[in-house]
Structure 1
Amino acid sequence: MAKLLFWGFVRSQQRKQQPAAKVDLAGKTVLVLGANTGLGFEATKHFANMNPERLILACRSQSRGQAAVDKLKAETGYRKTELWIIDLADFNSVKRFGDKFEREGGRLDILVENAALMANKYEATKDGWESSLQVSCLSVPLVALLFLPAMIKTGETYSTLPKIVVVASEMHHWVDIEKSVRENPNIIKTLGSAQYCNKSGVMMSRYMLTKLLNIFFVRGMNAVNPGYCCSELRRGINPAMRFIDHLMELCLAFTTERHPETLRGEYINACEREESSDFVIGPDGVKAEERLWDEVVDILGKVDPRVTRNVKKYLSAA
């Protein structure tokens, strides 16, 4: 697929959307990250209407999460919602979340990893990483890799096929990893360093970069692009850009409900399977993918040894 240009993006937004698919989720457990607002909340509404045995809303804030639980009950009548707290900008919080699921989680059929920050300046987390990189590109893989045993056990016990879905974006087409960074012995550490992030223009493309790194991580898993949607993700941008963004929403944006969760494939855009960007599938991207996987596993294995064990046990072919 040619590099996605602006008018290609516009055409994809104008495609007729299929109605949101529904299946019977009786007896199943669904967990949604970032579930209190925007795409995450709309996903929980959709799942609630399919009657899962358990629907876990994973949110950073107790108050906003509880408000989402109450709103979900009012709008759908579903009353099996659980609120679990996780801060993806804090590795210790993610580990506690994993510990809680080991103790109380049981089966897990669907994990929706809806997590992103649209940062326009460098801010470090308490763990020392640039915040949007940690949230989207380290904590999202950390959750997936910690939950692998539960999902594999679910598949074996109930003869089903659990799904991990990462919310991606066609904006990964608009960025690559520059050669000087790819030649650095530590790609992720370079991308997350203050020195690199404070270079002119770097943070302007940070959201696109995080989505590119998501695509690399989920090669072989599902990467669902919701398209450009009416959402609260862009609430932190400056007033001038917010005005332009509002005009684009009026002209182009999908509603957040219109994206079926049952689609499968390497990369799905506007309900259709598509190739990832030229950079991802090209020789430089393939080399970067292999290195990034090794770096992510190494970084996260130091955060939590369960990552190393799970990768060796379940993903040894990778």
Structure 2
Amino acid sequence: MAPRSFFQFVREQYSGMPPVVKTDLAGKTVVVVGANVGIGFEAARHFASMNPGRLIIACRNQERGEAALSELKSSTGFSRIELWLVDFTDFASVKGFADKFDREGGRLDILVENAGIIPGGYDTTKDGWLTILQTNCIAPSLLALRLLPHMWKTAEKYSTTPRLVLVASDVHYWSSLHKNPVVAKSPDILKLMSSFEYYSSTSHTDQYQDSKLLNVLFARDLQSRLLQSNVTVNSVTPAFCVSQLRRSVSGIMACASSVMERLLAYTAEEGSRQLVYGAIGGTEEEMRGGFVNFSKVVEPSDFVISKEGDAMEEKIWNELMDLLPLVGSSKESLKQYLRL
């Protein structure tokens, strides 16, 4: 497809967001990560209206999470909502969340991974990774792999098809990560992207676009490796909406973002409809590995579907496999579910 233009972006922002899809979620367990504010909160509100067996909102902050929990219960009248804590900047927290699910989670029908940040400067986690990279890409991927057995067992026990939704963005079309010859030659792309030298050669916009490209690649790669098509994996773009995602942005970029929001942005509720669509919309056949935009599966960037994109997927997959022990998993434990 032709490179995505700014005109296309503006046209879509004024085209109107499709209505939210609905279904009966009786008996099913829904987990929404990053659900205390913005599109994650609004997606959780939509799910609460569909009568799930359990709705787990996963947040990094206890106080903000409790405020969101209270607001969700009071605004929807739905009581089966639980607050669990997970911090994507800490692999130990990801492991703790997954361990808790092993003990208390039971079935898992829908997992929406929405947490994400925009960088405000070079910053690394306690695990040694660039914060935006660990938060937006590495930790969500590892949590998905750690929880995959629960989704697989849910499919077998309840004759259903669980869904994993990664919140990406249409900005992945503008990522130039693959055009960097250093990246193309590196066997350790994630490690390279976390280095100060590489960070210094890119802009904050580049880093965000690149992180969303990695989300799209991971969704496609994971789907292609499943030994059975009993779990559906996709990535979605919520479009450009009002969000606290840009709360760390300052200076000229903050001013520009404010103007853009006033002129073009959808509301958080409107953006959340795409998270819901990824979780319950479309058919399983079309949604597998798909990229969702405005309630339909569309072709991702040319790079994503190229041989070069496949090669990058493979490299990143191998890096993620090496990190699995940090969240309490291993390649061996995934062999019965995935082509490794």
8 A contact 1:176–1:212 mirrored in 2: no
Q: Report the TM-score, using the length of structure 2 for normalisation.
A: 0.89
Question: How many angstroms does 1:84 deviate by?
Answer: 0.4
8 A contact 1:37–1:68 mirrored in 2: yes
How many residue pairs end up in the alignment?
315
Amino acid at match of 1:246: S
4+ runs of 1 displaced by more than 6 Å?
none
Aligned position for 1:171:
171
SS in structure 2 opposite 1:84?
Answer: strand
Q: Mean Cα displacement is larger for which, 1-10 or 97-106?
A: 1-10
Among 173, 188, 204, the alignment partner of 2:190 is 188
Aligned position for 2:329:
306
SS in structure 2 opposite 1:208?
Answer: helix
Q: Mean Cα displacement is larger for which, 259-268 or 228-237?
A: 259-268
Aligned position for 2:235:
223
Q: Percent identity?
A: 46
Change (3 A) 1:172 1:292: same
Question: How many angstroms does 1:305 deviate by?
Answer: 5.1
CA RMSD of aligned residues (A): 1.5
Question: How many angstroms does 1:184 deviate by?
Answer: 1.4
Matched, 1:244 2:246: no
8 A contact 1:45–1:72 mirrored in 2: yes
Amino acid at match of 1:297: M
Aligned position for 2:208:
207
8 A contact 1:32–1:114 mirrored in 2: yes
Matched, 1:111 2:135: no
Aligned counterparts, 1:32-111, within 5 A: 32-111=32-111
Aligned position for 1:275:
299
- C-alpha distance in 2, partners of 1:281/1:84? 36
8 A contact 1:146–1:310 mirrored in 2: no
Aligned position for 2:137:
137
Change (3 A) 1:33 1:39: same
Question: How many angstroms does 1:231 deviate by?
Answer: 1.1
Amino acid at match of 1:263: G
Residue by residue over 1:210-243, the C-alpha shift from the partner in whole angstroms, topping out at 9 and shown as x without a partner, is 1011011001321111100111111111143223
Matched, 1:158 2:158: yes
Question: How many angstroms does 1:117 deviate by?
Answer: 1.0
Residue by residue over 1:33-53, the C-alpha shift from the partner in whole angstroms, topping out at 9 and shown as x without a partner, is 001011110011000111111
Aligned position for 1:123:
123
Amino acid at match of 1:284: E
Aligned counterparts, 1:245-264, within 5 A: 245-258=257-270, 259=273, 260-261=276-277, 262-264=280-282
SS in structure 1 opposite 2:260?
Answer: helix
Amino acid at match of 1:214: N
- C-alpha distance in 1, partners of 2:254/2:197? 28
8 A contact 1:145–1:310 mirrored in 2: no
Residue by residue over 1:45-85, the C-alpha shift from the partner in whole angstroms, topping out at 9 and shown as x without a partner, is 00011111111010000000000001111211111110001
Question: How many angstroms does 1:249 deviate by?
Answer: 1.7
Residue by residue over 1:7-49, the C-alpha shift from the partner in whole angstroms, topping out at 9 and shown as x without a partner, is 1111122223221011111111100000101111001100011
- C-alpha distance in 2, partners of 1:12/1:232? 21
Question: How many angstroms does 1:246 deviate by?
Answer: 2.2
SS in structure 2 opposite 1:83?
Answer: strand
- C-alpha distance in 1, partners of 2:74/2:259? 31
8 A contact 1:120–1:206 mirrored in 2: no
SS in structure 2 opposite 1:314?
Answer: coil
8 A contact 1:230–1:253 mirrored in 2: yes
Q: Mean Cα displacement is larger for which, 281-290 or 153-162?
A: 281-290
SS in structure 2 opposite 1:205?
Answer: helix
Gaps of 5+ in 1: none
Residue by residue over 1:88-144, the C-alpha shift from the partner in whole angstroms, topping out at 9 and shown as x without a partner, is 100001001111000000011100000211003110100000001011111101110
- C-alpha distance in 1, partners of 2:14/2:321? 39
Amino acid at match of 1:206: Q
Aligned position for 1:197:
199
SS in structure 1 opposite 2:304?
Answer: helix
Residue by residue over 1:261-306, the C-alpha shift from the partner in whole angstroms, topping out at 9 and shown as x without a partner, is 22342101122221111121223222212222222222x2242452
